[in-house]
Amino acid sequence: MTHTVWSVNDWDPLEEVVLGSAAGLTPPPVDVSLRHFFEPPADAGDERIDAGTLQRVVDETEEDFAELTETLTSAGVRVRRPDTTTVGRRYATPEWESVAMHALMPRDCLLVIGDRVIEAPMPMRARYFETAPFRSLLREYFDAGASWFSAPKPLLPDETYVYEPGASVVAEDEPLFDAANMLRCGTDIFFNVSNTGNRRGAAWLRRQLGSDFRVHEISICSDHVGTTLHILRPGLLLANSERLTPDRIPGPLRSWKTIWVDTPEDDGYAFDWPRASVWVGMNILALGPDTVVVPANQTRVIKQLENAGITAVPTSFRHGRTFGGGLHCCSLDVRRRGGLETYL
């Protein structure tokens, strides 16, 4: 059977991907949900980003995406993009108001498991309607046979955010998760319980997927897993040497060979404070089990991958720390060639 949407891991040969867009990038107000996720400096509310700097970040990011698109297309991958969004889109619920942040990171707001596309119940208020620019694509995939689900829309009262520096969590009052909290490994899904995902969210996902999948709760980092651990292919991991030790690798994966990533190069940031650490440099996109796309400036990561027999394809990616996401975050693999298997 030919699927329009099919992806159950991060290493099978890539055939179609959704790439985000920097158009409409709007740094949102520093509210309780943003502080909870980014843990910005105390004076973050005083940040003033001039229009020229913001436009430069948008333009340079779109230049980088154009290069990435050419790289992907030359590898036989179909690249899709979201609808154009506008700057400063405001919205409100009865309890709070915010501004839409961007359409940069489909990996965060959409979860593909098999032929399902799931809209995630994201806990950051500025990301509440982040799937909206991708709705045209979702309708197209649905009409072609994909299953399209949306998790319960959360209320996100102030009590959601249980703040502790370096160890924040979200309350268990309603299912919450960013899709980037997941490590997909065939029939096994690893769900990172963190400041962007709770156990009730894992329970909702487990019931949604049914008996074909096992959802394992882990807690290996404070937010998304893509700057801490990647499954490169069965038997081979890429791990953050600063955050993890061998005994902190999820138990079912602990016997697999691990490439321990040295501290990535710091490519800086354009705003007053960074939205991501230097570890965004290990946030990679796999074209297949032996080939990955890597930010061109990450020479140490590239060398480590190549020493392990992985082909690293470099591409420009200048502003990951500026807006808070890497190559994996800014892409969503909609279709990979391969079946559903159990590896553990």
Closest to 312 in 3D by CA, of 297, 296, 293: 293
Catalytic site residue 330? no
Q: Per the residue annotation, which of 185, 221, 329, 330 is the catalytic one? A: 329
Q: Per the residue annotation, which of 178, 188, 223, 333 is the catalytic one? A: 178
Q: Which two tokens stand for residue 36?
A: 């909870």
Catalytic site residue 319? no
Catalytic site residue 221? no
Question: How do strand 110-113 and strand 116-119 relate by DSSP bridges?
Answer: antiparallel
CA distance 94 to 92: 7
Contact of 273 with 40, CB cutoff 8 Å: yes
Q: Which two tokens stand for residue 185?
A: 């490994």
CA distance 240 to 306: 17
CA distance 66 to 86: 20
Q: Per the residue annotation, which of 102, 216, 224, 319 is the catalytic one? A: 224
3-state SS record for 281-292:
HHCCEEEECCEE
Query: Is the C-alpha dihedral spanning 104, 110, 177, 256 positive or negative?
Result: negative
Tell how far CA 180 is from the center of its chain. Answer: 4
Q: Which two tokens stand for residue 308?
A: 């392990």
Active site residues: 178, 224, 329
